[in-house]
Amino acid sequence: MAAAKTNFLSQVASYSIRPALVEARLITEKHAGDAVYVATLAEELRNIEAKIAAMEEVAQFGCSAAAIQIGSLLAAEDSPDANWIRTKSRELDARLRRVEQSSMQR
């Protein structure tokens, strides 16, 4: 059962989450000027954050207080910009790596 969870987490990360995080980190100033693109990408990052939180819960990993505080501060932004997107992407990538490492150790 633990092996199935590990495989599932790896597949989710590889096929859906990682490409979106890479796209977010590579946002250009031209794309940052497109309000629809920024809003769509911000929404996708918030959805990814929810998926990672669920993965953390399944892995019984638990979020650190710092990650929760950073996430809540960034989620409070009314109009995300390129810097918010890059910062959020780095935060989510770090959390995803911790979950993957935790699930591999089991």
The arithmetic mean of pLDDT across residues 45-54, rounded, is 91
* pLDDT of res. 69: 46
**Which residue range is the domain that position 61 belongs to?**
2-104
User: Exposed, middle or buried: residue 25 (CB in 10 Å: 0-12, 13-18, 19+)?
Assistant: middle
* Tally of domains within the chain: 1
pLDDT for 83-100, tens place per residue? 999 999 999 999 998 888
User: Model's pTM, two decimal places?
Assistant: 0.73
* pLDDT of res. 55: 84
CA distances in angstroms from 98 to 32, 35, 71, 76, 86, listed in the order given: 29, 32, 16, 24, 19
The residues, any chain, with a CB within 8 Å of residue 49's CB and separated by 6 or more, are: 71, 75, 88, 92
pLDDT for 10-46, tens place per residue? 677 767 899 999 999 999 999 999 999 999 999 999 9
Rounded CA separation 106/103 (Å): 5
The residues, any chain, with a CB within 8 Å of residue 70's CB and separated by 6 or more, are: 91
Residue 82's Cα: distance from chain center in Å? 15
Question: What length is written for the chain?
Answer: 106
The arithmetic mean of pLDDT across residues 53-71, rounded, is 63
* pLDDT of res. 59: 75
